[in-house]
Amino acid sequence: MKRIFTILALSLLAISSASAQSDIWKAVVGPYTNANGEIAISDPHTVIAVDYTLEKEQTIVGPYARYAMKLLGVRPSLVEKTIFSVKDVKLSVACGNALKAEAQSQENQTLVASYLGSEDEFAKISPDLMSASTISPDEAAAQAAQAIFSIRKSRNDLITGEAGENVFGAGLKDALEALDAREQALMELFFGKKVITTSTHRILCPIEEGVMEYPIAKFSSSKGVMHTSASEGDVVKLTLANAKSPKLSNIPEADPRDKTTLQVRLAAQTDCAVMVGDKQQCIVSLPVFELGRTVNIANSGAVKK
C-alpha cells in the first residue's frame, strides 16, 4: 500500500553532547567544542515519530452469492466493501537518521496475472465448470453446492477409512489438503473472498514551543488515512499534556550571570497521546525539549564553549 502522505521533519544539527540522565534528556544549547575538539552548534528540538498499523479488509462478492441462502442456508454479503481500521499506534522520539527517513523506493516488479484466480479476484473460468455445456446460473450454483457436499462426504470417508485402506500417512494428508482446497474454491463462489492487508506507516511531527495539539492526519473507515486537508473523516491528532518540570539530579545549576557556564536544555517528560476522533489510541511519556527549561551548569572542560 502506497504511503498516503508524508510530513517532512526539519533537519537538525548534530548534537553529539546530548545524553540521557535518569529519566530526562539534556543537550547543550548554542556553540560548543565537542570531545573531538570541533566546533559544533546545538539547537535541541524534539520530533515525535507516530508509527501506526493500518488494516484494510476487502470483501469481494462471490458470483453465486444470491443462491447461498437457498442452497446452503447461510446469507453472505451481497455488497463489495472495503473497511479500514487502525490496529496499533506507537510513539517514540525520532533522532538521527530517522529524521531524514523517506518512504523506501519500490523496486521495479513484473506481475504475471493468473487466469486461475488470486487472493483478490476469481478465476476467469469458474472452478465448478466441468464441461462446455451451457447451463443457467441457477443450475450452476446448484451443482456447485452439491459438489461441496460431495467433497465433505469424500473427506469423511477418507478419515473413517471407508474410502480405501491404501490411503494413509502422507498420502492421506495430501488427499485431505487437496479436498480442503477444492472446497474452499467452491465456497468462495457463494461467500466471496475476504482479503485483509496490514501495513505500517510513520508520520514525523516536529514539536513547537507552546503548542500542545497537532492535527497530523484524517481517518475514515472507508478510505483509510488521509491528509489533514481532506474534507471527510475523523481528525487524527497528537496531544501533549502534563509536562513535568525537569531537574538535574547530580549536577548543580550555576549562576546564569557567569559567562563561563554552559547552557543546557532539559527535556520535560510529557504525556503524549494519539487521538482518532474522540478515541485515544495510545499514550506514552516522552521527553520533549520544547516543554522543558534551559539551565546553566559549570563548564567542566569535557565540553567547552
Distances in whole angstroms, Cα of residue 143 to Cα of each of 23, 134, 181, 206, 211: 69, 13, 18, 61, 66
- As beta bridge partners, residue 220 has 224
Least Cα distance to 67 among 59, 58, 76 occurs for 76
Q: What are the grid coordinates assigned to 34, written together? A: 565537542
* β pairing state of 193-206 and 81-94: unpaired
* Predicted local distance difference test score (pLDDT) of residue 167: 60
Per-residue pLDDT of the chain (305 residues; tens, 9 = 90+): 332 222 222 222 233 333 333 334 778 888 777 778 888 787 888 999 999 999 999 988 999 999 999 999 989 889 999 999 999 999 999 875 555 454 443 455 555 555 566 777 777 667 777 777 788 989 989 998 999 999 999 888 888 777 666 566 677 788 888 888 888 888 889 988 888 999 999 999 999 999 999 999 999 999 999 999 999 999 999 999 999 988 877 778 877 787 778 888 899 999 999 999 999 999 999 999 999 998 888 876 544 33
* Predicted local distance difference test score (pLDDT) of residue 166: 59
Residue-range domain boundaries for the chain: 19-46+207-297
Q: Which residue has the cell 521533519?
A: 9
Q: Which amino acid is at 70?
A: K
CB atoms within 10 A of CB 160: 8
